[in-house]
Structure 1
Amino acid sequence: MLSTLSKQLRTHPALIPLLVFLGGGTAMSLLYLARLALRNPDVCWDRKNNPEPWNKLGPTYQYKFYSVETDYSKLKKQGPDF
C-alpha cells in the first residue's frame, strides 16, 4: 500500500497537498470527537461513582467550545441544588 502511494506521489506530485489536507482534516475531526467524548458534561463514562456529573457543574462552567453571545462568567444559577 505504501509503495503504491509513494509511486503515485512520485509520478503525480499534485497529490501531495490533497493528502496533507485529508490527513489534517481527519486528525482534527478525530481530536474534536475525542474532546466531545471526554469533556462534554452530558457524557458519563463512570456509572458507579457519579452517574449524573452534570449536576456538579456550576453556572459559570463553559461547556461549549466557542460561544458567540453567551458570557459564562456572568451567569447566575437558576435552579435548586440537588
Structure 2
Amino acid sequence: MPHHIISQTKKHPILITIFVFIGAVGTGKVLCVMCLALFNPDVRWDKRSNREPWNKQGPKEQYKFYLMTIDYSRLKKEGPDI
C-alpha cells in the first residue's frame, strides 16, 4: 500500500500538497481536542481529589477561550467561598 502511494505521488506531484493539507488539518483537530480536554474547567480527569473544580475558580480567571465583552482582570467576586 505505501509503495502504491509513493508511486502515485511520483507521477502526480500535486498530491504532495493534498497530503500536507490533510495532515495539517488532522494535526489541528487533534491539538484542539487535546486543548479542550486538558484546559477546560468542565472536564475533570481526577474524581478523587477535587470533585467540583469549577467551584474553585476565582473571578479573575478566564475560563472561556475568547470573549470580547468581559475584561477578567477587573471583575470582583460576587459570592461567598464554597
| Fold shared by both chains (TM-score > 0.5) | yes
Deviation at 1:12, TM superposition (A): 1.0
The equivalent residue for 2:55 is: 55
Instruction: Give the gaps of 5 or more residues in structure 1.
Output: none
Higher deviation after alignment, 65-74 or 7-16: 65-74
Structure 2: tracts of 5 or more residues without a match: none
**1:71 maps to 2:75:** no
Alpha-carbon distance in structure 1 between the residues aligned to 2:29 and 2:44:
21
Task: Name the SS of the counterpart of 2:65 in structure 1.
Answer: coil
Runs of 4+ in 1 over 6 A off after TM superposition: none
State the number of aligned residues.
Answer: 82
Counterpart residue number, 2:36: 36
1:34 Cα deviation (Å)? 0.4
RMSD: 1.3
CA shift for structure 1 position 64: 2.3
Q: In the aligned structure 2, how far is the partner of 1:77 from the partner of 1:18?
A: 50
Query: Structure 1 vs Structure 2: percent identity of aligned residues?
Result: 50
TM-score, normalization by structure 1: 0.88
Calculate the TM-score normalised by the size of structure 2. Answer: 0.88
2:80 corresponds to 1:80: yes
Partner Cα distance (1:29, 1:43) in 2: 18
Q: CA deviation at 1:46?
A: 0.6
Shift in Å, 1:58: 0.9
